[in-house]
Structure 1
Amino acid sequence: MTRPVEIHRNDRSALPRFAALNAEWIEDLHVLEESDKAMVATPEIYLDNGGQVFSAHIDGEVAGAVALKPHPDGRWELTKMAVDQRFRGHGIGQKLMDAVQDYARDILKLDSIFLLSNTKNEAALRLYERNGWTVNHEGTHPIYARCNIGMEKRL
Structure 2
Amino acid sequence: MKLPASLVAARHASPLGSILLAATDRGLAGLWFEGQRYHPPATQWPLVPDHPVLALACLQLDEYFSGQRTSFDLPLDLQGGTPFQQSVWQALLGIPPGQRTSYAALSQRIGKPAAVRAVGAAVGRNPVSIVVPCHRVVGTDGSLTGYAGGLDRKTALLKLEGALP
What's the TM-score, normalizing by structure 2? Answer: 0.30
Structure richer in strand, relative to its length: 1
